[in-house]
A and B are shown apart, each in its own frame.
Chain A
């Protein structure tokens, strides 16, 4: 394990600028780590040559005192971001051979900032899942192990499981994720890293393979809050090519980390203390509250009365949009094609073979809830409830500045804990989905370990486009929690 892979992005950036380390050297260290950790299956596609080319270019610029804010920083890019000339699979067989001739806005911004792409990280197929087990390239293994039994392989969470595992295992300094119902925050919590889902509209969706358009949002996954702020600054910004992107200036998010949260009100939603919340998670939450209080913030109990409707609402809205968004994968123009005698046969065979079980399940649900005769009962009703959930938050933020909740109801589960029924799997998103429906920014950071030594995360939610306050509080919580645990095989 190289010391170089232990650096935070901020540290590496400073050393690169001072020419204490080289970008090629830094990239090579990560490429070596990737090679030795292939058992984790974190990457769908490794791009070592491309990475070294970009690293050399970064060194060249850095040598002249130039280079963007992320010059020479090696990152993993979730395989949902289209990357020019580099295969982009969305974790699906149906795009198994798809090489886009274009670069997503977010990954292009990172490239322009000087970042080095190490490869494409694994994900649940089309970002649908909470375990990374639905990936066409096979499940990703978390670098973490239970203390009770280190032989049991654990899931990294999902859908950005490859990114989370790569960052936790020190294969990449940071990675991009996307979050539709918790796909950045939940794997961040499972893997003991920081995951930030920005406000809907903060980052352009252009060039990101769509799952549920009204919910999808790109965000950074890093090992520190400061690093998340640095990546977000590079990723965010208005894009005329995405009609839902917000035409707002991008602040220097890292500058928001003042360490001072005195006087801020921290909302503690009582509905999140739902039946079945484990003692372990409840204690973690209480500890987080106490830390923020100790730092001068004021916890306030709040009510988000429609919380219990969030999950069913999400599992109508997201599949509805996905059923339509995934219609374009029809075998006609690109990606997998299975020939048939008729056009309908070509569709049926291509999609039956190309899509996995979970994706097919959601397409079916989405098609059903949009059908004539069911639309009002499901889709229209869900939109109304969604508005009520957003209204819950709007009211809460009249009195509080951020909201503190657990990120996930459990620590990471085992890969072979038997067939997990879809509903249990979906319950993983119970704390992350409400903010997704409301379009709010949320961040998960590790603040403690489970009884079995697995990382646990707390989630902070903020006002729309107020990622700065969110990051400020997260920075303080990070410092107080002083989470130092490392996944197995990672030593300092």
Chain B
């Protein structure tokens, strides 16, 4: 659903396009052999090429190319068999070459698509305009010295994929869903870890507004938004700013803006007139990048099952709701966890446990599946204990909490704590007899028509058995005894 912003002059529609910079997961940089570890000491991952020493030349890292092609295929995009690296020229202290090697008019990946799964269960198809490879710049540190700036070149030359969407997004929520889905796909592919906090995924957001049916109006670009929440705030703020401008008789200028997370607003960074002339031209140090059909096919053969296909399969094979399937396939580990739990068991039950108690526990603990205290095998075993009548639903929840606390297998917990439900009808019968004998007045009232007291008897029996009595059995025996 698109956001509609009511204004004095009528309703406004939001138009958003995203440029996502995703750091390619690779051991070495795009054009040099230097490492890419996050958090290394400043200037310890810098080769002669990265520092732009005289006479140094870039050499394409084939693995980064493979990652870009893999990503393109994951986005169902056209892979360009010939692409060209170009120089984007500008001066900055953390840009050692005085140019960034990027791709300009001939990117490695062309048009593709991303399917968004919205909260209401609907889907939206968002177009991908292109994906290109480029080098990251270094980092300027302005807070280390009173009068000097320090430069850390560790990031200089790290491979980035710039993934440009078409202006197909119509609300902050869609933009959020897009980034979430894109990140999910990248993680499935293993081509980017999607870690926004560490800067391995960053967004530039293009925002404009228009009246229904109009062509696109002038857009503003908001640079370097580093969380999904901030992105939504920035879009919302920017949309309202532009609407206010138009409604006050003003115009929106094409410019680059920065989002101030503290103030929750965007502010102008530079206008179009001040924009750099990057003087792009093909990098003469690098030949055009040519990919063969067989190379592309070989990469395609290694693609994993991606979220959309997995979701479809979950709906088809496990008969899950689109929503549940969507939640489970959001990342590979959850989907795998679910499939392990569901194997040979009721998938609906498995899905309820995984998306309910299990995800709840992980959230509470702030942990991921990889360091979950409860294994998929153990959660499966717990479901089995419900199935064979060993545990009631209530007991199972109790056992699960103990599994979360202790990391032990459910059978061991049942044994240790004697939580096995009582299914011995003799034992239940004697417990019921004792309860009825102790409450003759209540029995009389019940028989006099006060049906509600049935629950009281059940409660007393469960209390007497320490909660271990099989509730169904208690019900049956009580009913017959009270007739």
The reply to whether A320 and B281 contact each other, CB–CB distance below 8 Å, is yes
State in angstroms the CA–CA spacing of A1 and B48 once bound together.
43
In the assembled complex, how far is the CB of residue B326 from the closest CB belonging to chain A, in whole angstroms?
44
The reply to whether A370 and B89 contact each other, CB–CB distance below 8 Å, is yes
Of A22-30, A42-50, A98-106, A416-424, the one touching chain B: A98-106
B55 touches A (CB below 8 Å): yes
Q: Which residues of A contact B87 (CB under 8 A)?
A: 324
In the assembled complex, how far is the CB of residue B86 from the closest CB belonging to chain A, in whole angstroms?
10
The reply to whether B54 and A82 contact each other, CB–CB distance below 8 Å, is yes
The reply to whether B48 and A347 contact each other, CB–CB distance below 8 Å, is no
Known contacts A209-B54, A213-B284, A241-B57; is A324 also within 8 Å of B93 by CB?
A: no
State in angstroms the CA–CA spacing of A242 and B272 once bound together.
38
The reply to whether A206 and B53 contact each other, CB–CB distance below 8 Å, is no
**A366-396 contact mask (Cβ, 8 Å, vs B): 1 or 0:** 0100111001000100000000000000000
The reply to whether A332 and B151 contact each other, CB–CB distance below 8 Å, is yes
In the assembled complex, how far is the CB of residue A361 from the closest CB belonging to chain B, in whole angstroms?
17
A402 touches B (CB below 8 Å): no
State in angstroms the CA–CA spacing of A244 and B282 once bound together.
13
Known contacts A241-B59, A332-B93, A370-B89; is A95 also within 8 Å of B54 by CB?
A: yes
In the assembled complex, how far is the CB of residue A77 from the closest CB belonging to chain B, in whole angstroms?
13
State in angstroms the CA–CA spacing of A125 and B281 once bound together.
24
- Select the residue from A100, A328, A333, A347 with max chain B CB neighbours within 10 A: A328
The reply to whether A371 and B277 contact each other, CB–CB distance below 8 Å, is yes
Known contacts A243-B286, A244-B287; is A205 also within 8 Å of B57 by CB?
A: yes
Q: Which residues of B contact A241 (CB under 8 A)?
A: 57, 59
Q: Which residues of A contact B281 (CB under 8 A)?
A: 320, 324, 370, 375, 379
The chain A residue sitting closest to B279, CB to CB, is A370
Q: Which residues of B contact A82 (CB under 8 A)?
A: 53-55
B245 touches A (CB below 8 Å): no
A492 touches B (CB below 8 Å): no
B176 touches A (CB below 8 Å): no
State in angstroms the CA–CA spacing of A101 and B277 once bound together.
34
- Select the residue from A205, A206, A324, A347 with max chain B CB neighbours within 10 A: A324
From residue 13 to 58 of chain B, which have CB atoms closer than 8 A to chain A? 48, 51-58
Per DSSP, chain B at the interface is loop
From residue 167 to 188 of chain A, which have CB atoms closer than 8 A to chain B? none
Q: Which residues of B contact A214 (CB under 8 A)?
A: 284
The reply to whether B279 and A371 contact each other, CB–CB distance below 8 Å, is yes
The reply to whether B54 and A324 contact each other, CB–CB distance below 8 Å, is no
State in angstroms the CA–CA spacing of A379 and B105 once bound together.
15
In the assembled complex, how far is the CB of residue A489 from the closest CB belonging to chain B, in whole angstroms?
34
The chain B residue sitting closest to A245, CB to CB, is B57
Known contacts A212-B284, A333-B51; is A367 also within 8 Å of B57 by CB?
A: no
Of B63-71, B95-103, B119-127, B157-165, the one touching chain A: B95-103
Q: Which residues of A contact B48 (CB under 8 A)?
A: 101-102
From residue 78 to 137 of chain B, which have CB atoms closer than 8 A to chain A? 87, 89, 91-93, 96-99
The reply to whether A206 and B89 contact each other, CB–CB distance below 8 Å, is no
The reply to whether B279 and A332 contact each other, CB–CB distance below 8 Å, is no
Known contacts A244-B285, A347-B91; is A206 also within 8 Å of B279 by CB?
A: no
**B side interface size, CB within 8 A:** 30
State in angstroms the CA–CA spacing of A328 and B53 once bound together.
8
Q: Which residues of A contact B93 (CB under 8 A)?
A: 330, 332, 343
The reply to whether B98 and A210 contact each other, CB–CB distance below 8 Å, is no
State in angstroms the CA–CA spacing of A330 and B87 once bound together.
17
From residue 321 to 335 of chain A, which have CB atoms closer than 8 A to chain B? 321, 323-324, 326-328, 330, 332-334
The reply to whether B98 and A324 contact each other, CB–CB distance below 8 Å, is yes
The reply to whether B91 and A327 contact each other, CB–CB distance below 8 Å, is yes
**A74-106 contact mask (Cβ, 8 Å, vs B): 1 or 0:** 000000011000001010000100101110100
B4 touches A (CB below 8 Å): no
The reply to whether B57 and A328 contact each other, CB–CB distance below 8 Å, is no
**A181-210 contact mask (Cβ, 8 Å, vs B): 1 or 0:** 000000000000000000000000111111
The chain B residue sitting closest to A205, CB to CB, is B57
The chain B residue sitting closest to A89, CB to CB, is B54
The chain B residue sitting closest to A326, CB to CB, is B98
B252 touches A (CB below 8 Å): no
Q: Which residues of A contact B97 (CB under 8 A)?
A: 327-328
Indicate which residue in A209, A333, A379 contacts B96 across the interface (CB closer than 8 Å).
A333
- Select the residue from A88, A326, A333, A347 with max chain B CB neighbours within 10 A: A333
In the assembled complex, how far is the CB of residue B60 from the closest CB belonging to chain A, in whole angstroms?
7
By Cβ-Cβ distance, the 7 closest A-B pairs, closest first, are: A327-B98, A213-B284, A370-B279, A214-B284, A328-B52, A207-B55, A209-B54
